[in-house]
Amino acid sequence: MMPGAPPESTLSKRSQKALLDLLADIPRKVLTHRDLTTLLHRGVEEKRLPQTVTLSKAAVFLEAHGLTKVVLRLPSSPGGPITRYAWGPVSMYALGVSMRPGAYLSHASAVFLHGLSDQIPKTIYVNKEQSVKPPPSGELTQHGLDRAFAGAQRASTSVFQYEGYRFVLLNGKNTNRLEVSQLRDPQGDYVDATKLERTLIDITVRPAYAGGVFEVLKAYRAAKDRISVNTLAATLQQLGYVYPYHQAVGFFLERAGMEPAKLQRLRDLGLRFDFYLAHKMGPTSYSAEWRIHFPEGL
């Protein structure tokens, strides 16, 4: 109950029923403060609620009838918490998508939602795309590539926490939400997430966000019979990465057991450079087929 708020008895039975009906009408079950305010305004405009029903009064009543106030905290930064309101059981995936307008689930979260892993994740990856940036200048060189992958890959420091879950907020490159659709989460809610081929590309580019390259290979093996190589190649070209990630994708597909003949479209994208499966690897082996260095034992 909010401090100083009037008791729920100040709401008439008619207003109480109207509030519950309004919430039942909305498809999303995780709401922002603005969502709740908009809901009340709608009730007043439709003459289902009197103007005397304030957000404080409504919140007190609803919190007693299934509305949960959720606060995601960012302990590693002085930035403020994110407050949301969940109607019914809290879906961690819907909660993650609600963190930023236009956000969607990606990497290990999408891997799980696609059924490519049976591990129940406690980390939710939420991608909020950056604004459009000019393309990088300069030509890719072998020396530049070697130097870039010798160091550790940068990782997001925007890691929020709630009820034992970690919510990693990613600032992904602008793709205009390429290959994003809706997937059903374990509670039956539909949430925005990357499609299968886009998910595999994303975890190839950022294997740490999927548990590392060994877990990435497991996901490729689980997805092998569902993958469209044409969609993979087309999506890679649309994403427009400077680095030759198609070599890593081809390597994973081959290791996953896909017939070599099906991988020709990826080879046709070029094999100009020696590439790396991950940043800052220890002892490595080398695939001449894909011109790629990968961890020993993979």
Of 16, 32, 65, which closes a domain? 65
Q: Which residues, other chains included, contact 115 with Cβ-Cβ below 8 Å and sequence gap of 6+?
A: 222
The pLDDT tens digits for 86-110 are 988 889 999 999 999 999 999 999 9
Whether 48 and 84 share a structural domain? no
Whether 75 and 20 share a structural domain? no
The pLDDT tens digits for 266-287 are 999 999 999 999 999 999 999 9
> In whole angstroms, what is the distance from residue 143 CA to residue 94 CA?
43
Q: Which residue has the higher pLDDT, 12 or 111?
A: 111
Whether 61 and 76 share a structural domain? no
The domain tally of the chain equals 2
Residues of the domain holding 38: 1-65
Whether 59 and 72 share a structural domain? no
Whether 154 and 84 share a structural domain? yes
Whether 11 and 70 share a structural domain? no
Q: How many C-beta atoms lie closer than 10 Å to residue 28's C-beta?
A: 14
Mean pLDDT calculated for residue range 225-254: 96
Q: Which residues, other chains included, contact 264 with Cβ-Cβ below 8 Å and sequence gap of 6+?
A: none
pLDDT of amino acid 2: 45
Whether 155 and 128 share a structural domain? yes
Q: Which residue has the higher pLDDT, 77 or 53?
A: 53
Whether 74 and 211 share a structural domain? yes
Q: Which residues, other chains included, contact 131 with Cβ-Cβ below 8 Å and sequence gap of 6+?
A: 174
Whether 53 and 81 share a structural domain? no
Mean pLDDT calculated for residue range 19-31: 86
Whether 16 and 163 share a structural domain? no
Of 39, 65, 91, which closes a domain? 65
Counts for the chain of helices (H) and strands (E), in that order: 11, 12
Average pLDDT, the chain: 92
Of 14, 39, 65, which closes a domain? 65
Query: In this structure, which amino acid lies at residue 20?
Result: L
Mean pLDDT calculated for residue range 9-18: 85
The pLDDT tens digits for 159-185 are 999 999 999 999 999 999 999 999 999
For residue 156, give Cα distances in angstroms to 80, 160, 230. 17, 11, 31
Q: What is the pTM of this model?
A: 0.91
pLDDT of amino acid 24: 86
The pLDDT tens digits for 124-144 are 999 999 999 888 778 999 999
Whether 70 and 134 share a structural domain? yes
> In whole angstroms, what is the distance from residue 180 CA to residue 104 CA?
8
**Buried residues in 250-287 as b, exposed as e (16+ CB within 10 A):** bbbbbbbebeeeebeebeebebebbbbbbeebeeeeeb
Whether 80 and 42 share a structural domain? no
